[in-house]
Structure 1
Amino acid sequence: MERFVFVLVLSVASAAKLGVVKTEGGQVQGRSHKMGLFSSVDVFKGIPFADVPGKWEKPKPHPGWDGVLKATKARERCLQVTLLQTETRGSEDCLYLNIFVPQGLKLSSGLPVMVYLFGGAFLLGASNDLAILGDSLYDGKQMADRGNVIVVTVNYRVGTMGFLSTGDSRLPGNYGLWDQHAAISWVRRNIQAFGGNPDNITVFGQSAGAASVSYQMLSPYSKGLFRRAISQCGVALSPWALQKNPMGLTKKIARKVGCWRANEDDMITCLKMSDPIGLTMAGKIDVLLLLGKGVVMDLLELAPVVDGDFIPDDPSRLFANAAQFDYLAGVNSMDGHFFAGVDVPSINTRNATSMEQVRGLLAGLTKDKGSAAVSSAYAVYSSHWGSAPAQEVVKKTVADIETDFLFLVPTQIALQLHANHSSGAHTFSYLFNMETRIPGFPSWVEAEHAEDLQYLFGKPFSTPLVYFPRHRDLSQYLIAYWTNFAHTGDPNKGESKVPVLWPQFTKNHQPYLTINHKMSKSSVRYNLRSSHVRYWTDTYSHLPDMRRDDHQ
């Protein structure tokens, strides 16, 4: 009898479910996934937030549907090249999002909402990317369940279809940013029906997604749209995050698809009539150009532009628009290692890395400023070497140079600008430095680009066999800080206990939190790589420019 009562109690006390939800476009029904004894997550995949977009047009509202939309599987990604860049995948019909809603014994309501923007160099990626061992990398169930937040992952156009621009009103560009904006706006209008609080939305993203978050904060169109933002390894000020010569790139793509014309209007007409698949392939990175010539960064050409509309001015001058948002931003300690390994392959092998190679890398990164920059940067980066530096020291310096230039310094400048303009909003800075889990790398390699994501999305819990307890500790810490921040604007306060108090970054006080599996009071440090940040912001930026913008 007792057993019967226990089973009865259990069946009555199972987690609540949303069932059919009414949105502006029509009704949707997802699936409930059991998480713990009395908890589950309702998952809705493939809800349209806009209509099929026209080529190089802003997204338009979705016309809606009849009956109940079964939102149980993710829709295709936006048209893009494959990772190996040999073909395309995806579809032009791609403006869909996925929603993860945590449930306890009674239906959730008023929850904070976290909208995720994926990375992928503005060239590739999807809201449900990369399923390795189980669910996709961006599956929001663990984060939703452990942090008591609604997680939303969205698609946006990438590559040629998302970011081609003539630098003027004929093809203004930034279509991918408009898609993100449309998705956040849809969430604001509809999330209450899923148990979310439309007045408490946090936008977060990694790499190109982090730079996108930064652009969303800086755009005048976002006023009052969301409340908080998190940039992981990328900001709008990153050198790869802004197209400086859009017309030059458009002409290059026109040549590849047989549309080059002396008359620009004829060329644009031809591009508009061209096949999207051919256009997408024409925007791929030509990896062969790299070998021994120049730096990876020069190949990342498709990116947002200053269009006088969504991005009205240079990003560095738009931080007054971001004053209202709480902001949390940081980098991985070896964010630049992957790029450094392509530019200077010897750092990951037994071969020696020479002083000349270090100078060559600096020359590639600083070619706008000429030889004076190479000498001054080399002096800063070799200052701790002594007369006969160990190879490990030289190799790590190469990774540090790329990390600083591409990620760390721009992020520190963005944090400083945010703190300087902030009107009562909070600013927080971090460095994620967990040692890499990627096999085969030298022992000095710490957190590689994108290695934070597996922990943030709770992979050590969903696929426990491939992780150790220390990885679960770290995952718990990251989810706690990020979701607390979404709840309150302060990573220390919310529903989750955190291991260390994380102090605010202010105009005159620059603490940052080092995040790894061994957190203690000494995880709070100050003035992250300040002499290197000072070099790039003060000395380097005041050197005269060697190049003019060439509109070929």
Structure 2
Amino acid sequence: MSQAMVIIALAIYIYYIPANKMNICLYINVYLPNNASSDALPVMFWIYGGGFEEGNAEKALYGPDYLIEHDVIVVTFNYRLGPFAFLSTGDEILPGNLGLKDQNLALNWTHKNIKYFGGDPEKITIFGESAGGASTGLHLISKRSAGLFRAAIAQSGSALTYWSVELNPRPTAFALADNIGGGNYGNDSAELKKFLKARTTKEIALARSKLSNTATLFPVLEIENENAFLTESPYSLLESGDFNQVPLIIGICAEESLWFLKNVTYAKYVAYLVDTLSDRLIPTDLRPNSSDINSVEKDIKNIYLEKDETFSTNILAFANYFSDVGFVNGVVKHAEMALKYVPVYFYQFAYFGRPIMQPYLEGAEKATHTAELPFLFKMFMYNETTIPEDVLTEHRITTLWTNFAKYLNPTPDPTDLLNNVTWPVFNLENRSYLNINNSLEIRNQLKTNLSIQWDDIYETYGQKPFITF
């Protein structure tokens, strides 16, 4: 299999991968199919995940081979990460969101220039997974990205996952500088910025590695300024319909949490922390009154646990809780709110094959976070496989995704490859979704009871206006 590949140097940025890497140029990679038709092709603009802290667009990791077989152009790119991208003092001095602004710059460039590579600038679909899925959701609500794409696919992330927006970024900015040492900035944002600009990238990366594991570097709500990417609550924007209204595919993997829990021993340790520390149990975006903490804890645990059980003694329940709070709730809520304004197609990826890792928990679903990626992209950690089910799943998901990029409908016509299913739009009555496993199946009532229970918790205890969910 071969394809034409063009790599364009767009700009030079400090780009953070892990602490032992230094400066890397920001590149845009434009992948063209061989023998493409003379017509302008649809474009798929990929935003990789990695918790806003790590990742890259290398071809070895996100090879476009499977997608460009379907006569689309694939665009990938690097964007700044970690403290070089999302450090914020919560004011005009260090407003934050540089990583999202990099993404927006790459998207602008693609919209302006893809015609020179045979692409149609009016047929750009943005898609991403995890932090890339959250980024996709944030482009959907950012006015800076308006008019730059006509469809979106958000995989295991959305504008409403709680980690899509950091509500209190300022302490982390000062804690990072404190880890470097030798500064005389007090609580002054301008002095802090001056101090950090005089440091090397290595010093800053090392200081990040010393922060506590509860310190996060995520997108933020900026104060109003001409360069702002996001200034308003994602929840409010979706609720009011004040967002970029384009068709959307959105979904989850069957058991998102297993990627992070890794094994039973580690899972029991994390479960113990959640059992004993309310700030680990209660989603940060809920922001309940201190007088309600005990009631919130009880109501959350009642969703998952029987009387006298703990998460430490019921690891399966903990895995379900972790998946829901970390991914499912925010993704499902985004779909519920967007469907009032745009066609929404919801999926659950449940097929277990080509696993990036093989976590196992008795009674849990096997398809964990990232499980769909080896079927969308040719990834260096896999040899070419001839396992029929794997090849079939690859052909199915790439067909669904590229159909959407071409026709704004993942199943425009029934086909044997897609089990002759017609993927219906998501609605609040049937809550229909596509379950992607050894076969494709339309199911109903997606997470219905779960949504009712968490809605009740947010309505009862949550601090309004909601930011995420």
TM-score range, shorter chain: 0.7 to 0.9
Cα deviation, 1:218-252, whole Å, max 9, x if unaligned, reads: 10112211101111111121111211111111111
**Of the candidates 263, 281, 302, which is equivalent to residue 206 of structure 2?**
281
RMSD value over aligned CA atoms? 3.0
**Is residue 5 of structure 2 the alignment partner of residue 43 of structure 1?**
yes
Do the aligned partners of 1:205 and 1:231 also contact (CA within 8 Å) in 2?
A: yes
Rounded to whole Å, the distance in 2 between the matches of 1:171 and 1:158 is 15
Do the aligned partners of 2:338 and 2:344 also contact (CA within 8 Å) in 1?
A: yes
- Relative distance call for 1:136 and 1:235 in structure 2 (3 A) is same
State the one-letter code of the partner of 2:21: R
**Is residue 28 of structure 2 the alignment partner of residue 97 of structure 1?**
yes
Rounded to whole Å, the distance in 1 between the matches of 2:57 and 2:332 is 27
Do the aligned partners of 2:413 and 2:422 also contact (CA within 8 Å) in 1?
A: no
1:64 maps to none
**Is residue 247 of structure 2 the alignment partner of residue 317 of structure 1?**
no
**Of the candidates 406, 410, 424, which is equivalent to residue 487 of structure 1?**
406
Do the aligned partners of 1:514 and 1:525 also contact (CA within 8 Å) in 2?
A: yes
Query: Counterparts of 1:276-425 in structure 2 under 5 Å?
Result: 276-284=201-209, 286=211, 298-299=214-215, 301-307=216-222, 308=224, 309-319=228-238, 320-341=241-262, 345-346=266-267, 359-360=275-276, 364-366=280-282, 368-369=287-288, 370-382=293-305, 394-420=314-340, 422=341, 425=342
**Of the candidates 424, 428, 442, which is equivalent to residue 345 of structure 2?**
428
**Of the candidates 524, 527, 531, which is equivalent to residue 449 of structure 2?**
531
**Is residue 192 of structure 2 the alignment partner of residue 267 of structure 1?**
yes
Rounded to whole Å, the distance in 1 between the matches of 2:153 and 2:79 is 18
State the one-letter code of the partner of 2:424: P
- Relative distance call for 1:365 and 1:505 in structure 2 (3 A) is same
- TM (norm. structure 2) is 0.86
Do the aligned partners of 1:173 and 1:305 also contact (CA within 8 Å) in 2?
A: yes
Structure 1 stretch 113-122 or stretch 392-401: which is displaced more?
A: 392-401
- TM (norm. structure 1) is 0.74
**Is residue 385 of structure 2 the alignment partner of residue 469 of structure 1?**
no
State the one-letter code of the partner of 2:454: W
Rounded to whole Å, the distance in 1 between the matches of 2:53 and 2:264 is 20
State the one-letter code of the partner of 2:432: P
Cα deviation, 1:361-408, whole Å, max 9, x if unaligned, reads: 77622175422112111111125xx9999x999322111101100100
**Of the candidates 12, 22, 26, which is equivalent to residue 52 of structure 1?**
12
Structure 1 stretch 467-476 or stretch 147-156: which is displaced more?
A: 467-476
Rounded to whole Å, the distance in 2 between the matches of 1:495 and 1:181 is 36
SS of the residue 2:164 aligns to: coil
- Relative distance call for 1:494 and 1:154 in structure 2 (3 A) is farther
Cα deviation, 1:463-505, whole Å, max 9, x if unaligned, reads: 334x621111111111011110100111112798523221101
State the one-letter code of the partner of 1:141: D
Rounded to whole Å, the distance in 2 between the matches of 1:507 and 1:378 is 26
State the one-letter code of the partner of 1:506: N
SS of the residue 2:105 aligns to: helix
1:457 maps to 377
**Is residue 153 of structure 2 the alignment partner of residue 230 of structure 1?**
yes
Rounded to whole Å, the distance in 1 between the matches of 2:220 and 2:133 is 16
Cα deviation, 1:434-477, whole Å, max 9, x if unaligned, reads: 23633463353411111210011156998334x62111111111
CA drift of 1:344 comes to: 6.8
Structure 2: runs of 5+ lacking an equivalent = 464-469
Across the two proteins, how many residue pairs are aligned to each other? Answer: 443
1:28 maps to none
**Is residue 21 of structure 2 the alignment partner of residue 79 of structure 1?**
no
Rounded to whole Å, the distance in 2 between the matches of 1:461 and 1:342 is 21
Cα deviation, 1:34-59, whole Å, max 9, x if unaligned, reads: x3xxxx521123x122x324x7xxxx
Q: Share of identical aligned residues, percent?
A: 28
2:83 maps to 160
Query: Counterparts of 1:167-246 in structure 2 under 5 Å?
Result: 167-246=90-169
In our comparison, the structure showing a higher alpha carbon Rg is 1
State the one-letter code of the partner of 1:247: R
**Of the candidates 35, 44, 53, which is equivalent to residue 114 of structure 1?**
44
SS of the residue 1:318 aligns to: helix
State the one-letter code of the partner of 2:245: Q
SS of the residue 1:153 aligns to: strand
Rounded to whole Å, the distance in 2 between the matches of 1:169 and 1:213 is 25
Do the aligned partners of 1:164 and 1:171 also contact (CA within 8 Å) in 2?
A: yes
State the one-letter code of the partner of 1:117: I
- Relative distance call for 1:410 and 1:283 in structure 2 (3 A) is same
Do the aligned partners of 1:488 and 1:494 also contact (CA within 8 Å) in 2?
A: no
- Relative distance call for 1:536 and 1:434 in structure 2 (3 A) is same
Do the aligned partners of 1:363 and 1:374 also contact (CA within 8 Å) in 2?
A: no
SS of the residue 2:51 aligns to: coil
Structure 1: runs of 5+ lacking an equivalent = 1-34, 56-77, 82-86, 129-134, 291-297, 546-552
- Relative distance call for 1:363 and 1:429 in structure 2 (3 A) is same
Rounded to whole Å, the distance in 1 between the matches of 2:255 and 2:370 is 10
CA drift of 1:198 comes to: 0.5
Rounded to whole Å, the distance in 1 between the matches of 2:63 and 2:201 is 29
Do the aligned partners of 2:127 and 2:154 also contact (CA within 8 Å) in 1?
A: yes
Rounded to whole Å, the distance in 1 between the matches of 2:194 and 2:125 is 39
Do the aligned partners of 1:228 and 1:327 also contact (CA within 8 Å) in 2?
A: yes
State the one-letter code of the partner of 1:397: A
- Relative distance call for 1:357 and 1:182 in structure 2 (3 A) is closer
Do the aligned partners of 1:366 and 1:374 also contact (CA within 8 Å) in 2?
A: yes
CA drift of 1:154 comes to: 1.0
